[in-house]
């Protein structure tokens, strides 16, 4: 995302993946003598930040689950309320599953296009 674009969406998950892979990239740099304490500190700060974000998202999910469950219970029987809770849980899971699936799909498409372009260039085609 940059200013002017609307959403975090799968971009958020992608950036999370980038942060996740930072230590591995830094290890590679360290082996080549290009790392520094400052860079490791930066990675640690990003990991810390993402840990807080994930914790807050979990908290939010719990609050939403409680809110929806409580709301439903006003209108439904106790059993239905429990079912709503499960629905909420499965809904959250489905959303995450869908987002990750979308990301994998987009990445697959991008890399496929890359291969096609590389092959066409190798063959001297435009």
Contact call for residues 92 and 61 (beta carbons, < 8 A): yes
Verify binding: residue 109, another protein, rule CB under 8 A.
yes
From residue 64, how far is each of 10, 88, 93, 117 by CA, in Å? 21, 8, 13, 45
Verify binding: residue 59, another protein, rule CB under 8 A.
yes
Beta carbon of residue 123, minimum distance to another protein (angstroms, whole number): 15
- 124 torsion bin: left (phi>0), alpha (psi -120 to 50), beta (else): left
Verify binding: residue 47, another protein, rule CB under 8 A.
no
From residue 6, how far is each of 11, 35, 101 by CA, in Å? 11, 35, 20
Smaller CB distance to another protein: residue 2 or 79?
2
- How many residues belong to the site for another protein (CB under 8 A)? 44
Verify binding: residue 19, another protein, rule CB under 8 A.
yes
**Sign of dihedral through CA atoms 109, 110, 113, 115?**
negative
Beta carbon of residue 93, minimum distance to another protein (angstroms, whole number): 13
CA distance 84 to 110: 38
Verify binding: residue 24, another protein, rule CB under 8 A.
no
Q: In the complex, which residues of this chain contact another protein (CB under 8 A)? A: 1-12, 14-15, 18-19, 22, 25, 42-43, 46, 49, 52-53, 56-57, 59-60, 64, 67-68, 71-72, 95, 102-103, 106-107, 109-110, 113-114, 117-118
């Amino acid at each position: 995302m940059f200013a002017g674009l609307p959403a975090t969406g799968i971009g958020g998950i992608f950036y999370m993946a980038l942060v996740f892979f930072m230590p591995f990239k830094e290890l590679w740099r360290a082996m080549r003598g290009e790392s520094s304490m400052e860079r490791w500190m930066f990675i640690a700060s990003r990991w810390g930040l993402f840990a807080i974000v994930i914790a807050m998202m979990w908290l939010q999910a719990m609050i939403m689950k409680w809110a929806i469950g409580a709301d439903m219970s006003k209108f439904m029987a106790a059993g239905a309320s429990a079912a709503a809770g499960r629905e909420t849980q499965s809904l959250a899971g489905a959303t995450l599953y869908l987002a990750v699936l979308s990301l994998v799909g987009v990445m697959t498409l991008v890399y496929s296009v890359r291969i096609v372009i590389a092959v066409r260039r190798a063959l001297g085609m435009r």
